Chains A and B, each alone.
Chain A
Amino acid sequence: MAENQILSAINLSKTYHRGKVSILALRKVNLVVEKGDFIAIQGPSGSGKTTLLNLLGGLDTPTSGEIWIEKANIASMSERRLSDVRCRRVGFVFQFYNLIPKMSALDNVELPMIFAKVPKKQRKSTAERLLRAAGLEHRIHHSPSELSAGEQQRVAIARALANDPAILLMDEPTGNLDEDNTRHIMELAVQLNKGQNTTFLLTTHNLSITKYADKAYFLRDGELADSD
């Protein structure tokens, strides 16, 4: 694995079994992500985007193939070690934000650091810094229900960055947002990518989102191809 490679998938396949029916969700996907990349994977609904991100982020295990995050093949890792990968090496951003309700924005951002056993004082200052960077300094004590959809997604991005992960995996990050909020979120991602060299890999069904990315791929029926 090259020095600046953050993530690579080699011949990654995933088959789901529903009774006697087998569904091939991903077919021998190969992908390399380097430090500072901003990669978009576009594809229609049901193309396997979520499955691919689940595998790359250690939320699911592949049927075959390898997934290297930095120097570790997570395809064959135990659940305990995968938790560590999810905690420290990968940041997730979901379409529906998945913030913990009734917890403030600050508490939500602090959560991954609790699991990484970061001391309380440092947790708080890091969470405040990340929320400031996301333009939410005036909303840190608000609960998700008191935030707009765009603000919730910014909190989710701040949370994903909490433990300084090697890569941010964003699954349809703008899928639930209006045009203005979509633009704000993507500008924030670009700003983090260019300003702090944060590595992004996002999936979207929206072709217009790919314009923010350095590289774009197209996923159809579980097969990954360069976007034309």
Chain B
Amino acid sequence: MFQMLSLAVRNIRRRALRNSLTVIGLAIFVLIFILISSFTLSVQSALSDSLSDLGGEITIWSQGAPLPFFGEIPENYTNQINQIPYVKNVSPQVARVSTVDSKEFRIVFGINPSDIPVFHTYTMVEGIMISSNDSKSVMGYLFADYIKKYVGDNITIDGHEVPVVGVFRTDTWMDNVVIIPISVAQEIFSLSERASIIMVTVTDPAKIDFVVSEIREDLSNVSVSKSQEATSRIAPLMSSVSLVSYAFSTIAGVACFFGVSNVMLAGTIERSREIGILKAIGAKGADVTKMIMYESAILGGLGGILGCSISMMLLIEGLLIPITSASALRVLIIPEIFVYGLILSVTISIVATLYPIWRAVRVRPNEVLKFG
């Protein structure tokens, strides 16, 4: 094995430029794979976190809406829910993606001011929390820093000017949103007597399942779940995100496969005479197979390592991608994805070499060597 491995290493060194380009091609694939996969998982993680950060123990939103931002339910459902035993607090909330100060789209929450301390844990960085239904707003500190607006300034939400009275901090994604009274949100977004989501808390945690089943019985056209399980409800959306990401990775993989296959095939055809010489001096088909296989595995490994290294550098530096939550999403470093990237690189490289190997093994020395 080591003899053939050393021969493969020598062969790679002999064609340094071509093999370097192959390694770079594989590295680009690994880079694309890791970044897309990391981005997808980061988005999924952010979506899950965003749902669990909404507060409450039971989440209710419009049936069929992929996220609360896209659905509407009657606000008066809260009255029916309040009648159900063991229900402690019911909070209708409006959540919309909107332009704020003509900047990018941001999430704006409309909540009853009295519900905020019940459903959220926060500290005020500056000013005060909204406490009435007056047209006032508070911002998460990250968003405030982003748009450079603080207490005393006005912000424009979907064309409506609203004064800022406070800046809060939660250490969740809520630090990137704007909160206004629900009545103001309903007016701005033309959602009279409607909400995007209703959050519910119960008096006895052991009765959550009972309350959930009661709400389901009483209300139609809504999706009801325990907040802990709410992430499962965005599974279709997550699946779509995953599908797109896998599609991109697959396209990159297929392109890389044909690229490597082309290089290895060209190399094999170019080396037909050389392979003929090797067979004439005693190389078996298995030796030629091993030699080329090792070459491709080494190239795949090098491409994988290079791709992983570049990805790691980018992610450690902090790759920020703007998504629907109101700030840029920091793409997570997920070690498993790096391992998969490396394995894929080696696998693609080896599989892409199977046909060139088949061609090489069939080389007949007497046909490629000229004896004069």
The reply to whether chain A is a binding partner of chain B is yes
Q: Please provide the chain A residues from 103 to 121 with a CB less than 8 Å away from any CB of chain B in the complex.
A: 103, 107, 111-112, 114-117, 120
Interface secondary structure of B, over-half rule = helix
> A115 to B274, Cβ gap below 8 A?
no
B81 to chain A, nearest CB (A): 79
> B285 to A80, Cβ gap below 8 A?
yes
Q: Please provide the chain A residues from 68 to 92 with a CB less than 8 Å away from any CB of chain B in the complex.
A: 79-80, 83-84, 86-88, 92
With beta carbons under 8 angstroms apart, the residue of B278, B284, B286, B364 that contacts A111 is: B278
Complex Cα gap A107–B10 (Å): 10
A23 to chain B, nearest CB (A): 15
> A94 to B371, Cβ gap below 8 A?
yes
Complex Cα gap A100–B365 (Å): 14
> A59 to B365, Cβ gap below 8 A?
yes
Complex Cα gap A219–B282 (Å): 27
> B4 to A114, Cβ gap below 8 A?
yes
Complex Cα gap A171–B284 (Å): 22
Complex Cα gap A163–B14 (Å): 25
Digitize B358-372: 1 where CB-to-A-CB distance is under 8 Å, 0 elsewhere: 000000111001111
Complex Cα gap A29–B238 (Å): 76
Q: Please provide the chain B residues from 190 to 209 with a CB less than 8 Å away from any CB of chain A in the complex.
A: none
B41 to chain A, nearest CB (A): 45
> A92 to B280, Cβ gap below 8 A?
yes
> A87 to B282, Cβ gap below 8 A?
yes
> A112 to B282, Cβ gap below 8 A?
yes
Closest A residue by C-beta to B291: A114
What are the residues of chain A within 8 A of B283 when measuring CB–CB? 83, 87, 115
Digitize B1-40: 1 where CB-to-A-CB distance is under 8 Å, 0 elsewhere: 0111011001000100000000000000000000000000
Contact of B287 with A by CB under 8 A: yes
Complex Cα gap A116–B3 (Å): 10
Complex Cα gap A98–B276 (Å): 10
Contact of A172 with B by CB under 8 A: yes
Q: Tally chain B residues at the interface, Cβ within 8 Å.
A: 27
What are the residues of chain A within 8 A of B4 when measuring CB–CB? 114
Digitize B273-296: 1 where CB-to-A-CB distance is under 8 Å, 0 elsewhere: 110011111111111000000000
Q: Please provide the chain A residues from 94 to 138 with a CB less than 8 Å away from any CB of chain B in the complex.
A: 94-96, 98-103, 107, 111-112, 114-117, 120
Contact of A159 with B by CB under 8 A: yes
What are the residues of chain B within 8 A of A98 when measuring CB–CB? 273, 277, 280, 369
Q: A59-B365, A120-B3 are in contact. Are A95 and B372 (CB under 8 A)?
A: yes
> A172 to B372, Cβ gap below 8 A?
yes
> B281 to A96, Cβ gap below 8 A?
no
Contact of A181 with B by CB under 8 A: no
Q: A53-B371, A83-B279, A96-B372 are in contact. Are A60 and B284 (CB under 8 A)?
A: no
What are the residues of chain B within 8 A of A83 when measuring CB–CB? 279, 282-285, 287
What are the residues of chain A within 8 A of B371 when measuring CB–CB? 49-50, 53-54, 94-95, 171-172
Q: A50-B372, A94-B371, A103-B14 are in contact. Are A86 and B279 (CB under 8 A)?
A: yes
What are the residues of chain A within 8 A of B7 when measuring CB–CB? 111, 114
What are the residues of chain B within 8 A of A120 when measuring CB–CB? 2-3, 6
With beta carbons under 8 angstroms apart, the residue of B2, B10, B14, B282 that contacts A115 is: B282
What are the residues of chain A within 8 A of B365 when measuring CB–CB? 59
Q: Please provide the chain B residues from 323 to 369 with a CB less than 8 Å away from any CB of chain A in the complex.
A: 364-366, 369
What are the residues of chain A within 8 A of B281 when measuring CB–CB? 86-87, 92, 111-112, 115, 159-160
Complex Cα gap A96–B274 (Å): 13
With beta carbons under 8 angstroms apart, the residue of B6, B274, B372 that contacts A176 is: B372
What are the residues of chain B within 8 A of A95 when measuring CB–CB? 370-372
Interface set of B (CB-CB < 8 Å, partner A): 2-4, 6-7, 10, 14, 273-274, 277-287, 364-366, 369-372
A-B contact pairs, 28 of them (CB 8 A): A50-B372, A79-B285, A80-B284, A80-B285, A83-B283, A83-B284, A86-B280, A87-B283, A92-B280, A94-B371, A94-B372, A95-B371, A96-B372, A98-B369, A100-B277, A102-B14, A103-B14, A112-B281, A114-B4, A114-B6, A115-B278, A115-B282, A115-B283, A120-B3, A159-B281, A160-B281, A171-B371, A176-B372
